[in-house]
Amino acid sequence: MNILYEDNHILVVEKPINILVQKDNTKDLDLLTMLKNYLKEKYKKPGNVYLGLVHRLDRVVGGVMVFAKTSKAADRLSKQVANHDFKKTYYAVLCGRLKNNGHLENYLIKDEKTNTSFVKNEGKLAILDYEVLKIINEFTLVKINLKTGRHHQIRVQFSHIGYPLFGDARYNKNYHVKEQIALFAKCLSFNHPISKELMEFSLDLPNRYPFTLFK
């Protein structure tokens, strides 16, 4: 595991792709359990280890995440998320040549049976801003400032406007087997839950196609 930062209150890590953040009914190994085991071994802690989950990433998406090591830190970070003071910046490669920066607002509804979200005239409001960074061939690299954290939000909203993410098995009709989704949680910033200091973390883009086209 790539540990980016750790103190008595928070743990910042790089989430690997194709790893669950939290256990589900597949019973596959998840990041939360892995990190609890890491803390248990590092500090020789008996019994259960507390680690608070304050935000999530889809299983297929990698990038920077923060976890809370105390309930007080978890509560304060969760309030920052609710107040939109918790800044998450994603990079994605879209299929198509999207030429202008933009702002997307849609209402999303989640189908629990299929674990799929749809744009509707009702549901939960989903908001994001995006900046076009570069266009190569028929691909566009965008920087996304996520304002809300809805289920599959980025994937659904860009698919809805006709620019699905490369490698998105669920929302890109031209997906090919074995493609990895080109979505990455590159940057994260928040105020430290105890010291109030502004904390900022950033990762390099993955060294895999199609991100390598833009390096």
* 58 has catalytic annotation: yes
Pairing state of beta strands 116-120 and 102-111?
antiparallel
- Number of Cβ within 10 Å of residue 72's Cβ equals 13
Residues 6+ apart with CB under 8 A from 191: 80, 85, 197, 198, 199
The residues near 162 (Cβ < 8 Å, ≥ 6 apart) are: 96
3-state SS, residue 157: helix
Q: Which of 212, 213, 214, 205 is closest to 17 using CA atoms?
A: 205
| CB burial of residue 198 (10 Å; 0-12, 13-18, 19+) | exposed
b/e 87-125 (16+ beta carbons within 10 angstroms → b)? ebbbbbbbbeebeeeeebebebbbeeeeeebbbeeeebe
- Catalytic hit among 7, 24, 28, 58: 58
Give the gyration radius of the chain's Cα atoms: 18
The residue written with tokens 């910042």 in the block is: 12
Catalytic residue set: 58
